[in-house]
Amino acid sequence: MRAWAQWALDTAVMRGASYADVRVVELRNRVLSVKNGRVGTIAETESLGLGVRVIAEGAWGFASTDRLTRERIEATAAEAVAIAWASARVKKADVVLAPEQKIIAVWRTPYKKDPFAIPLSAQMDLLFAVDKELRSIPGVTLTETAMYFTRQEQFLASTEGSGIQQTKIFSGAGLTATSFSNGEIQKRSYPNSFGGQFSAAGYELVEELKLVENARRVGEEAVALHKADRCLEGRRTIILDSAQLALQIHESIGHAIELDRVLGTEANFAGISFLTLGKLGCLQYGSEIVNVVADARLEHGPGLGTFGYDDEGVPAQGIDIIKDGRFVGYLSSRETARAVGLARSGGAMRAESWNRIPLIRMTNVSLLPGTYSLADLLADTDDGIYLETNRSWSIDDRRLHFQFGTEIAWEIKGGKKTRMLKNPSYSGITTEFWNSCDAICDRTHWTLWGIPNCGKGQPMQTIGTGHGATPARFRNVLVGVAYAK
């Protein structure tokens, strides 16, 4: 990998690049799934390639290849420089990067069990056991369970002298029970929807999830939802479970704090952000109990946004985003940090693979724990709704107006969870919503959730992000609009 990177760097410099970095990436993925008693997917994929990013004539160029001969690597680096020259045709100022130290380092995801070393038979046996349990529940009409494993080996080298080798392991697993009855489809997922839970961890994650042990409860809830009352529209007190709150953080905080959106470079596709530069340090984003960080460091936990160095070679950092309710920080890159006058990048640049450029991506954007136990929080709520597990999500292109639906909800009356409610939804305006937060559960309820499918950029890149969250309470929230007549 080092020789390939050096060939590319040498060519880029020779062709006139004032800066270049090269990422050589090798990916291995395993996807296993079982549906209704049969294998759905059983597949292994590997991919090895190299991407060269350059600044030449004060503008960006990037080219990538998987033909790793010296000739093709040098041609790819030369192409990146030629592309930068074309970019320079439509520029107003030269690209300047915030300074960063030269780093020579090796970093690995800590894990206990290499998922690729676990016999495939054991993994398939577990999936079939989960599936069997789900299919034994009368009324469940579709059963799906899956596991996902990724190993990413990456070597990053730059003309500033950095050389960083990172090995990252990601694992994920989950199950879904769907029930069709009387013209209605209801679904329950465990431990989360859209694939389950994902972490920077080994096979130990799958074992800790206890999929078989949770299958029956979840399947029975899917069936029971048909007979539940509908969540009616109105303004209510709501408590979000930690998985739903993780997605709420992702959509209404995580994307909004990306400096590339703020500075307009995502305007055509993903959109911009309501968090204009003047709001930094001034905006009361949430109530005083709301504290949010963007933390890529290991000590924050094994999140999908945990790493040693970002894809510009900037060390992982923990950054305050919301402090005592006040908006205090953005996610940044070396270019955007320089543009807004920050001393250095916050280290949030990541690329999906060798064939994509790094973009500003969420690391682990997490709500810090509060003080309530869940039992106390419920007991403290006289009249409200407890919403669990995301089913739908949508937010406008400035990250202000959102609507979420969840798979299930429970009415809270007199401090207790009472009847089940189906088709729950809630909507609101980002800052009003976070300012209505009046209770957050403590660390014993805190989970660092992994969202594996965050899409951004053109060409589209899908990447995993981490979000620590606990159940939390919000007052006077509009619910039920999605199904209102």
Partner 1 sequence: MLSEAQCQEIFERVQRASRVRETEVFLEASRSALTRFANNIIHQNVAEEGMQVSVRAVVDGRTARATTNKIGPDALRRVVEQATQIAGWQPPDPDLLEMPGPQCYREVKRMCPHTAQLTPEARAQAVEKVVRRAERAGLTAAGIYANSYRIQALLNSSGLFAYHQETKAEFSVTCFNEQGSGWAKGSLISADQLAIDELAERACQKALASQNPQELPPGRYTVILEPAAVLDLVGFFSYDFAATAVADQRSCFTQRLGKKVFGENISIWDDVYHPLQSGVAWDGEGIPRQKVVLVERGIVKNLVYSRQAARKMNAAPTGHGFLLPNELGEAPVNLVFAGGESPFEEMIRTTQRGVLVTRFWYIREVDPYQKILTGVTRDGTFYVADGEIQYPVRNLRFNQSLLEMLNQVEMLGPAVRAAGEESFEMVVPAMKVADFRFTEVTKH
What is the C-alpha R_g of the chain? Answer: 23
Please, which residue, 295 or 407, has the CB nearer to partner 1?
Answer: 407
All residues at 6 or more sequence positions from 70 whose CB lies less than 8 Å from its CB, including other chains: 7
Q: Considering only residues 253-312, where is the footprint of partner 1 by CB under 8 A? A: 263-269, 271
Q: Most distant CA pair in the chain: distance in Å?
A: 73
CB of 60 to partner 1, least distance (A): 6
CB of 144 to partner 1, least distance (A): 7
Q: Considering only residues 332-391, where is the footprint of partner 1 by CB under 8 A? A: 355-357, 391
Residue 189 touches partner 1, criterion: CB under 8 A: no
What's the start-to-end Cα distance of the chain, in Å? Answer: 60
Tell me how far apart the alpha carbons of residues 313 and 69 are, in angstroms, rounded to a whole number.
Answer: 25
Please, which residue, 278 or 414, has the CB nearer to partner 1?
Answer: 278
Q: How many residues of this chain interact with partner 1, rule: CB under 8 A?
A: 84
Please, which residue, 264 or 281, has the CB nearer to partner 1?
Answer: 264
Tell me how far apart the alpha carbons of residues 384 and 17 are, in angstroms, rounded to a whole number.
Answer: 60
Please, which residue, 372 or 426, has the CB nearer to partner 1?
Answer: 426
In Å, how far are 121, 195, 450 from 198, measured between CA atoms?
Answer: 21, 8, 5
In 3D space, the residue among 16, 5, 25, 338 whose CA is nearest the CA of residue 167 turns out to be 25
In Å, how far are 235, 269, 386, 412, 443 from 416, measured between CA atoms?
Answer: 19, 44, 10, 5, 22
Tell me how far apart the alpha carbons of residues 327 and 256 are, in angstroms, rounded to a whole number.
Answer: 11
- Candidates 98-106, 109-117, 156-164, 422-430: pick the segment binding partner 1 (CB under 8 A): 422-430
CB of 150 to partner 1, least distance (A): 14
CB of 127 to partner 1, least distance (A): 10
Please, which residue, 27 or 469, has the CB nearer to partner 1?
Answer: 27
Q: Considering only residues 121-150, where is the footprint of partner 1 by CB under 8 A? A: 121, 124, 128, 141-142, 144
Tell me how far apart the alpha carbons of residues 200 and 247 are, in angstroms, rounded to a whole number.
Answer: 18
Single out the residue of 3, 14, 67, 288 in contact with partner 1 (rule: CB under 8 A).
67
Q: Considering only residues 68-97, where is the footprint of partner 1 by CB under 8 A? A: 76, 79-80, 82-87, 89-92
Please, which residue, 220 or 380, has the CB nearer to partner 1?
Answer: 220
